[in-house]
């Protein structure tokens, strides 16, 4: 952008269907402290009314920077007029007080002679959008920079993790070219946080009380207070969680609050990684680079093949939930095991107890091996009896069918399946009696599962899954940072995230 105009790092995208709503949301954002708003006048039945709205809004809020956009239908906007009419509307928006205008490269290439008049009174941002994927970007940038502008906005769609890397690397490779670089969609969310860190001019956010104008946008509050986009330096360490799905993870809320409490120049991001994309993600992790990351469903076992050094217990478990880089090598551990044993050992002598583990996935394997290592008498049950028998044989446990398990009573029952997890909160592995004196449900969303409720009705002692989550997260934090985890801060963040139904990656 032109040096005479300084714009904040976050632009609130306002795409509303009528002028009254547009102005109401603009005022609300202004009152919340926002000073950079995009008026999408193409969303209005009559964009001319959007020009009048800019003038009306700035009459009372002159210190606010307005970016006017009137994207044509051919370029995934809502304006059906000609390029000439589009430019005329942008000129009118500038006359009404807009400090910047956004014009698609497709339109700009058809009216190059008129662009100088736009630039003489405001900042001109040339934009390109690709809703299908992320094409080769250097040729695209060369195409765009053939036309003089104050900034170049390139927005693609991330189909795989490494698309984030390609978008962010464009900023690294062209530090003298003013750009706005973003990848749409849940898989592209990391670019919305990191683009300004890598040198991008600004990023976009949704208004606090309305939807956004592109897939993957989140509120300015989240960008500013959870991800701290305005405070991260270019040397900031990057952590994250890989999962599919990932948008409902509370890990970003918990770890970012912990990093903030320790005043770390670091951020923790959600990475959507499909089952077939693990190798592609490791390319991103290596080149970005990531300092460490959490691993959850469905990658805990497959990630083993990509890690150079594996903790012995994690190797026996056959699953990792924590990966970090040290001395140029990826190292892996399983903090789920401590997340299970530490809460139990606060309540009983585990080595003297009889324990039933329910399940045979990654969390169940962590529980089974950790319990076996403690010396407790271990039994395992689950829906897939073949897998139950295999796990039981591997850790010298007794395999049981559900019916056999229900007929017994154990000192400890550890539930390690997804049954009862939101949104399927009405599910429970045991339809009748719960065979445990102390019931530890590793599901933490909701905080009180159907299994926990049934156990309480039987006067059993219970441990909610949030205790396991917080213990394993605290251990992850300590592995990555070498600092003590701020446990009280992390617990408060987790409970707030669960209470609000907050998701870190946005819709």
Residues annotated as part of the active site: 300
| 312 CB-near residues (< 8 Å, 6+ apart) | none
Q: Is residue 164 exposed (0-12), middle (13-18) or buried (19+ Cβ within 10 Å)?
A: buried
Rounded Cα–Cα distance for residues 478 and 186 (Å): 28
At 491, list the tokens: 């617990």
Residue 193 belongs to what H/E stretch?
A: helix 189-194
Paired residues of 441 in beta bridges: 415
| 159 CB-near residues (< 8 Å, 6+ apart) | 133, 134, 185, 187
Radius of gyration of the chain (CA): 26
Strand order in the sheet with 123-129: 179-184, 151-157, 123-129, 100-104, 65-69, 36-40, 10-14, 203-205
Rounded Cα–Cα distance for residues 329 and 174 (Å): 29
Residue 123 belongs to what H/E stretch?
A: strand 123-129
Burial profile 336-375: b = 16 or more Cβ within 10 angstroms, e = fewer: bbbbbbbbbeeeeebeebbbbbbbbbbbbbbbbbbbbbbe
């Amino acid at each position: 952008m032109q040096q005479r105009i300084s714009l904040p790092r976050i632009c609130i995208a306002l795409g509303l269907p009528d002028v009254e709503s547009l102005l109401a949301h603009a005022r609300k954002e202004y009152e919340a402290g926002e000073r950079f708003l995009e008026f999408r006048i193409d969303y209005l039945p009559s964009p001319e009314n959007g020009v009048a709205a800019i003038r009306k809004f700035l009459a009372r809020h002159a210190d606010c920077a307005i970016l006017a956009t009137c994207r044509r239908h051919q370029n995934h906007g809502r304006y059906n007029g000609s390029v000439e009419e589009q430019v005329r509307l942008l000129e009118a928006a500038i006359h009404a007080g807009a400090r910047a205008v956004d014009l698609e490269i497709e339109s700009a290439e058809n009216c190059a002679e008129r662009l100088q008049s736009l630039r003489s009174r405001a900042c001109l941002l040339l934009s390109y959008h690709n809703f299908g994927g992320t094409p080769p970007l250097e040729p695209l940038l060369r195409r765009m920079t053939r036309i003089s502008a104050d900034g170049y906005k390139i927005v693609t769609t991330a189909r795989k993790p490494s698309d984030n890397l390609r978008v962010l690397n464009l900023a690294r490779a062209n530090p003298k070219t003013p750009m706005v670089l973003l990848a749409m969609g849940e898989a592209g969310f990391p670019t919305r946080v990191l683009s300004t860190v890598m040198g991008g001019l600004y990023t976009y956010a949704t208004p606090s009380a309305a939807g956004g104008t592109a897939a993957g946008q989140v509120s300015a509050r989240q960008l500013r207070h959870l991800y701290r986009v305005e405070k991260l330096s270019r040397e900031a360490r990057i952590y994250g969680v890989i999962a599919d799905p990932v948008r409902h993870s509370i890990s970003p809320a918990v770890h970012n609050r912990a990093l903030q409490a320790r005043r770390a120049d670091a951020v923790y991001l959600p990475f959507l990684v499909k089952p077939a994309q693990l190798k592609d993600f490791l390319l991103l992790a290596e080149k970005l680079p990531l300092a460490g990351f959490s691993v959850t469903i469905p990658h805990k076992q497959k990630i083993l093949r990509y890690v150079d050094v594996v903790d012995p217990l994690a190797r026996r478990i056959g699953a990792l939930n924590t990966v970090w880089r040290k001395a140029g090598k990826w190292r892996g551990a399983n903090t789920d095991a401590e997340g299970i044993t530490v809460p139990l050992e606060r309540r009983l002598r585990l080595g003297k107890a009889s324990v039933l583990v329910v399940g045979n996935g990654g969390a169940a394997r962590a529980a089974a091996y950790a319990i076996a290592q403690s010396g407790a008498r271990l039994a395992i049950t689950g829906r897939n009896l073949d897998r139950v028998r295999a796990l039981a044989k591997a850790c010298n446990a007794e395999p049981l069918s559900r019916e056999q398990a229900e007929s017994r009573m154990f000192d400890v029952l550890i539930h390690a399946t997804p049954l009862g997890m939101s949104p399927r909160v009405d599910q429970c592995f045991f339809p009748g009696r719960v065979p445990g004196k102390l019931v530890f449900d590793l599901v933490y969303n909701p905080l009180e599962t159907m299994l926990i409720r049934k156990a309480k009705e039987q006067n059993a002692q219970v441990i909610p899954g949030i205790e396991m989550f917080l213990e394993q997260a605290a251990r992850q934090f300590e592995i990555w940072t070498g600092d003590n985890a701020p446990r009280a801060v992390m617990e408060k963040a987790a409970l707030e995230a669960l209470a609000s139904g907050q998701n870190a990656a946005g819709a």
